Amino acid sequence: MLAPLLVSFAVLLVLRIPVAAAMGLSGAFALFTSDMQIPLAVVPQRIFVLLDSTSLLAIPFFILAGAIMEQGGMARRMIGFAQTMVGHWRGGLAQVDVLASTIFSSLTGSSAASASATGSVMIPAMKRAGYPAGYAAALEASSAAIGPIIPPSIIMVIYGSLAGVSVGALFLSGIVPGLMITLGLFAVNAVQARRKGWGGEARASFRERARAARLASAALVAPLIIIGGILGGVFTPTEAGAVAVVYAAVISLFVYREMGFRRLMGSVFDAALTTGIIGLIIASAGIFGWVLALEQVPQMVVAWVQSVTASPSVAIILVVGVVLVIGCVVDVTAAVIILVPVFAPLGASYGFDPVHFGIIMCLALVYGNVTPPVGLLLFLTAGIAKCSVGEVMRYQIPFYIVLTLVLAATVALPGLVLFIARF
């Protein structure tokens, strides 16, 4: 059954069938041709079992919160605040983009939402200021990649649900790696700005910063409510998503007053569409992963790695290498569902802390968002910048270096990564 699964999946990818559909169809084909005589009626049953999870309810909540924040003026005010804080640095607009993406990522947990919200404003502004379109798109793609790392994170919700790991602990452990990526992107911008002669804007006065902070205060408080509530045990990560939706709606409708009922319904429609797409990916990847489980692929992988090395350090290098390769050709959400049942037992067998191992997996999977040929963020930001993906890739190498260094530090320094979760 494994050979039909992998061969049919490869053929469907070559035929340019969407990855989600390719996984579902290849899984169903493998079951149909199997000697195990499993009826295809089991497929919808398995899909229901996979999606029937309280933890996964956080996904539509955070997606909807992000959509409301984007349409209700919260994202624009956060960008204005970021501009007064770092706009005067060398390469000012690029630094504003990084800070704004980091702040917005702490509200939505979605890299695509962050890229759409901040990229639609910052990429055109950077182009008008003389930044190359490819650099602006590459920076936005890499900045938006922070979305799945800094809490809340959609892929961490999925990981925790499948691996039986505390989603709250994963959220809190993602803070340090996420901020490390932010600092790394700041450094890359500073080096590139010095080489290219990109200056900053005029330094904002204290009054201008105070005004921007006041205008954005309601938006800036949101991450504190979400993370503080989880950390204080006031609500679960799923409940935090619902709180984020209510808070975003109240602020957008009654404080900023930039969103009417029609725009609110538009945000609900957009969030429902995005949730449906993610749900399809989860369902299709679940069938694919179930077939792998039937063929005992997780056990075979664990046995193979253990036969190769007894060293946890070598084992984690092998795991990261496989995750990076798979992330290049499979959507990040789908990759989480496929790989968690395979590698989570491996991490446990080598004595890795389950939360630390989950952060390593999620961080490695982030590469998939900015790596061809799938690379959702590359295509999204290239479309906003009106340039080719090839042009974006010309500027991507320094950002890959940042992600690699942060990934290495995450592997080597578990105490630093887990510090907040253990606090």
Average pLDDT over residues 200-204: 81
What is the structure's pLDDT at 234?
A: 82
Confidence of residue 303 (pLDDT cuts 50, 70, 90): confident
Average pLDDT, the chain: 85
pLDDT digits (tens, 9 = 90+) for 170-192: 988 999 999 999 999 999 999 99
pLDDT digits (tens, 9 = 90+) for 392-412: 999 999 999 999 999 999 999
Average pLDDT over residues 208-228: 84
More confident residue, 119 or 187: 187
Question: Does 232 score more than 80 pLDDT?
Answer: no
Report residue 54 as tokens: 């309280």
What is the structure's pLDDT at 337?
A: 82
Q: The pTM is what?
A: 0.83
Question: Does 113 score more than 80 pLDDT?
Answer: no
Segment of 15-19, 29-33, 152-156, 186-190 carrying the highest mean pLDDT: 186-190
